[in-house]
Every structure is written in structure tokens, then in C-alpha cells.
Chain A
């Protein structure tokens, strides 16, 4: 199993450009998440999904859109990138079944995004 993978690993954008970050998981997890990590701010939840075809806003959703057309994929889109979106983005997934103690999140390795 590859677990949670993220594409690309690193990207440089100019202000106003658009891009899509791809997250894929092969663990048949229902829940998927997108976080951003910034110095002093910790991990902040952008959007999440509790199943195929569903999405919901997290703590910092503005400027981002997401789609979950397939259970194994969760896409994060930036329609018009801004320097404030320079960050490291992490995707995560977790199962919805079993004991709460088993419902831990598995994270991908991250995507480093620089917006100039």
C-alpha cells in the first residue's frame, strides 16, 4: 500500500495563476482532509470530505475549492493564487468504521507551494 500520496511535491506559482493539488489514498478511507501548515499557526483545516461526492468547509476555506469525485481522490484547487497561500499543504485520510481509537488520520508527505 502506498498510503496517502500527494502530487506535486513542490510548485512555484505567480500571483493570479491557478493550480490543482491531487491527493490519493489506497486504504479505502471514507474521510479525507486538506490542511495547510504555516509557522506559528500549526495545521489548519481547509476543507474536508466525509465520503465520495461530499465536501465541507474547515477553518480556513477562503480562496480554495475541493472536489471528491472518486472515493480515493481529493482535489484541492486554487483558482487565483495569492502570496498568502504560500504554505505547505497536507492531505490526510481516515476510516469511518471501527472503534474511535482506530480512527486515526494518515497524512501524505506534503506539497510545498510558493506563490510569487
Chain B
């Protein structure tokens, strides 16, 4: 089975700077990766996705990069804003089920 790992449990960034959240995976067979954002006491919400046929997908301040040779994806937020403070989960669609990493808690300080 696919393992999806986020090795940094937390990240603190100054407002206006870049936030980089990282995710590693073990199996190259699967074709879609997603990032979700979660605020306290709310359900996760979809943020951005990337297909394995691409190496970059951009949506406003959010860009996801996929490095297939390293089995690594990253989410870049530029510029970071205090409202971006949340837990971010990377996930991978595996035949109908979405498997998530452990999450990274981002704190953007004014």
C-alpha cells in the first residue's frame, strides 16, 4: 500500500514570506495527489491537486510541485498570510480511497 508521509509536524513562518510544506510517498503507481487544509473544529477542505503527468500546478498563492524521481511533493504558499494558519494534509487517491499523511501545522505570524 501507498505510504504518504509528512515528516514536519509544524512550521512557523513570518507573514509575507514563503511557506513550504513537504510530503513524501512510497509508491509511484498512483496518479493523483491532493492537499487539504483544516482549521480547528472544522472538517478538512480541498486546496489544490496535481496529476502525476505534471510537475507543477498553480492556483493563486498556492503552488504544488511534484518530483517523481524523488517521490516528493511540496506545497508553496507565497506570500503567506495569517489566515493560512491551519493544518495541511497531503493525500493520494488509491483506487477510490484517499490516504493522508500525518499533517503539518502551519503558523503564520504577523
**A residues lining the B interface (CB < 8 Å):** 4, 31, 33, 35, 40-45, 48, 50, 56, 58-59, 90, 92, 94, 96, 100-101, 103-110
Residues in B with CB closer than 8 Å to A109 are 41-43
The answer to whether A33 touches B97, judged by C-beta atoms less than 8 angstroms apart, is yes
The answer to whether A110 touches B96, judged by C-beta atoms less than 8 angstroms apart, is no
Residues in A with CB closer than 8 Å to B93 are 100, 103
Question: Given A40-B9, A43-B103, is A4 in contact with B97 using a C-beta cutoff of 8 Å?
Answer: no
Extra inter-chain contacts (5) besides given A33-B97, A40-B9, A48-B97, CB under 8 Å: A43-B89, A43-B100, A103-B93, A107-B44, A110-B42
**B residues lining the A interface (CB < 8 Å):** 6, 9, 31-32, 34, 36, 41-46, 49, 51, 89, 91, 93, 96-103
The answer to whether B43 touches A107, judged by C-beta atoms less than 8 angstroms apart, is yes
The answer to whether B98 touches A108, judged by C-beta atoms less than 8 angstroms apart, is no
Q: How far is the CA of A23 from the CA of B98 in the complex (A)?
A: 17
The answer to whether B101 touches A104, judged by C-beta atoms less than 8 angstroms apart, is no
CB of A77, distance to nearest CB on chain B (Å): 19
**Residue in contact with B96 in the complex, picked from A4, A48, A104, CB distance below 8 Å:** A48
Residue picked from B6, B101, B102, most chain A C-beta under 10 Å:
B102
Q: How far is the CA of A44 from the CA of B49 in the complex (A)?
A: 19
Q: How far is the CA of A45 from the CA of B34 in the complex (A)?
A: 15
Q: How far is the CA of A48 from the CA of B46 in the complex (A)?
A: 19
The answer to whether A105 touches B46, judged by C-beta atoms less than 8 angstroms apart, is yes
Q: How far is the CA of A19 from the CA of B90 in the complex (A)?
A: 31
